[in-house]
Structure 1
Amino acid sequence: MTKKPVILSTDPGIDDVAAMTISLFDKEIDLRMIVATWGNVELKYTLQNALGLETFLHTRVPVVRGANQPLVRPAISAASVHGKTGIAGYEFKNFDQSLLKPGLAATLMHEEIQTSPEKITLMGIGPLTDYALLFKQYPEDLAKIEKIVIMGGNIGHGNHSPFAEYNIAGDPEAAQVVFQSGIPIQVAPLEIGNQAHVTSEQLDRVKACGEVGQMLYSMFANIHETDGSNQIKIYDPTAVGILVRPDLYTFKPAHVEIELAGKFTAGASAMDFLSEQPNAEIATKVKTAEFADWFIEAIKIANEGRK
């Protein structure tokens, strides 16, 4: 099997940690680089969490220091959901600093894209600041990118504001650059994360997946869902699912524009499913039970693959 070469931009974040864990051990993914960006919490914590996770998992994928703020706007925070450090309920004890690759994220991604014999897939599960900087600084890279898979945006109401989802609202200008890039884009919007939940019983199955499962259980058990739901919504791993298990999803083409100026709608993802000029494929449904089974099995595989 030929693995898909992937660069991951992430702002860990509890669900980001789950997505990273799955990506690091999935047999179809060749994870070339992890770009830790600002997002759920400050960059110092997201970078620390990426290094801590890899040290815990005994993996050696290079970690790159990404953007520490949005392109234009003040940074927002999701510490109320994820905890001050981004991973409430758990604390990594060791951080292998040798995993941290020095240099600017855009330049390091550019070098990886240009030297790769295969086209690279970009996966974005946080604000898209670093990808926007890459596209603006190195437009020649666009032709060597296979596609972009994004967890972000919303079809209906948002989770940051009535009309905006958190990852896109964090840096709407960056998101607009990405959606206007001309690269094929697949999107797992907020609604897919809402559908792809796990129950308390399924969370117990996660806990049974060895030390890796116990680590993730400790984090997920401490998520404070803003809607008060007892179901744990699985957002960022849905992007990994799109890449390796697209059969679990229903997609519809749409033209996506990001609202930049609206007083009440800034950061909203305007998804026009009637457009004759689509620029993205939007996941509109996920097979919830099958997704949960895949998610739990992927964690089991990660635990078995951890040396």
Structure 2
Amino acid sequence: MSRPIIIDCDPGHDDAIALIMALANPELQVLAVTTSAGNQTQSKTLCNAMRILTLLGRQDIPVASGAVKPLSRGLIIADNVHGESGLDGPELPEADFAASELKAWQLMAQQIAASPSPVTLVPTGPLTNIALFLCSYPELHHKVERIVLMGGAAGVGNWTPAAEFNIYVDPEAADIVFKSAIPITMCGLDVTHQAQVMAEDVAKIRTISNPVAHCVADLLEFFVIYHKDPKWGFAGAPLHDPCTIAWLLKPQIFTGQNCYVAIDTMSPLTLGMTVVDRYQLTGQPANAHVLFGVERQGFVDLLTESLSHWS
């Protein structure tokens, strides 16, 4: 039986690859795709999600746009990473279907209420839409099996010294999510920085004879440009968002620990920091399963196997 999921994303190169991986694997049933503002503005992330679904021939999946800005702050985007379109690099088809008239959190509620099985939410961008759903539909919390999110870090950040981008964009939303009492799997920088795709992996992907794999190779070749800066210390490009899908499909290639995680919403120095109590120093009960390690080759193998599905 496939696991019902809703993907809330802000495509974004790695979001797009996560979406492609999810739809390649019948173990996951994607009930809906919703979009958040983050890597680019809401209008661009919605367009990008719909273009990817058009490429995949999955116009049957309902898509809805979400909040145009964080709950209480101005929007920060990562166009220095993902380009002017948010998906610079490949040539993608124009979307040939219409988005839902519902807002993201309304579509989430509709799909979750109708699902015979509990639904897993998979946010790979800022958590604004997830927080709005949780606040608007408390009666549906029991029908959410888990939230598997990309965001945060137990160590250093990538947008400020203390904060990872997705959490920094909307720390108030992240605070709501981590206080929700819904089981959380946190795919933070500690694990996603290990999920690197190397040049030889991209070359192998390029040999897979289908347009989806070629699109992913183009995405990766653009994405690696930002990560070539020596300050990061990367040998390849870390695929942050696909770690959420990989964990759902093959949790055995990951290692993690149950921890209490709090979000800093106030300090000018550590705003957006995910404070991970790895050593149980606060006495607070764990509210997240925090991933710390991944078997890189197993991750890359899963990616390439998923891309072969589209042949």
TM-score by length of 1: 0.95
2-side partners of 1:237 and 1:18: how far apart? 6
CA contact (8 A) 2:71 2:172 kept: yes
2-side partners of 1:45 and 1:287: how far apart? 33
2-side partners of 1:278 and 1:42: how far apart? 34
Unaligned runs of 5+ in 1: none
Structure 1 residue 97 corresponds to structure 2 residue 102: no
What does residue 244 of structure 2 align with? Answer: 239
Task: Calculate the aligned-residue CA RMSD, in Å.
Answer: 1.1
Per-residue displacement from partner, 1:272-302 (whole Å, max 9, x unpaired)?
023350000011110111111111111111x
Pairing partner for 2:279 from 263, 274, 295: 274
Question: Which shows bigger deviation, 14-23 or 201-210?
Answer: 201-210
CA contact (8 A) 1:258 1:269 kept: yes
2-side partners of 1:96 and 1:110: how far apart? 25
Unaligned runs of 5+ in 2: none
Structure 1 residue 183 corresponds to structure 2 residue 182: yes
CA contact (8 A) 2:91 2:215 kept: no
Question: Which shows bigger deviation, 291-300 or 33-42?
Answer: 291-300
Amino acid aligned to 2:298 = E
What does residue 220 of structure 1 align with? Answer: 220
Shift of 1:226: 6.7
CA contact (8 A) 2:105 2:129 kept: yes
Q: SS in structure 2 opposite 1:101? A: coil
Per-residue displacement from partner, 1:158-197 (whole Å, max 9, x unpaired)?
1100000001111100001000000010111112111010
| Residues 252-267 of structure 1: pairs in structure 2 closer than 5 A | 252-267=257-272
CA contact (8 A) 1:169 1:267 kept: yes
2-side partners of 1:239 and 1:187: how far apart? 8
Per-residue displacement from partner, 1:67-115 (whole Å, max 9, x unpaired)?
11100111111110110111111232321233x1111222221121111
2-side partners of 1:299 and 1:4: how far apart? 20
CA contact (8 A) 2:228 2:236 kept: no
2-side partners of 1:184 and 1:227: how far apart? 36
Structure 1 residue 42 corresponds to structure 2 residue 37: no
Structure 1 residue 144 corresponds to structure 2 residue 146: no
Q: SS in structure 2 opposite 1:6? A: strand
Shift of 1:227: 3.9
Q: SS in structure 2 opposite 1:292? A: helix
1-side partners of 2:176 and 2:118: how far apart? 20
Shift of 1:232: 1.2
2-side partners of 1:248 and 1:204: how far apart? 23
TM-score by length of 2: 0.94
The structure-2 alpha-carbon separation of the partners of 1:10 and 1:201, relative to structure 1 and needing over 3 Å to count, comes to same
What does residue 126 of structure 1 align with? Answer: 125
Structure 1 residue 248 corresponds to structure 2 residue 253: yes
2-side partners of 1:268 and 1:226: how far apart? 25
2-side partners of 1:241 and 1:96: how far apart? 29
Pairing partner for 1:289 from 297, 300, 305: 297
CA contact (8 A) 2:54 2:93 kept: no
1-side partners of 2:199 and 2:287: how far apart? 37
1-side partners of 2:25 and 2:66: how far apart? 24
Amino acid aligned to 1:166 = F
Shift of 1:221: 0.4
Aligned residues: 301
CA contact (8 A) 1:81 1:226 kept: no
2-side partners of 1:202 and 1:109: how far apart? 35
What does residue 66 of structure 2 align with? Answer: 66
Amino acid aligned to 1:288 = R
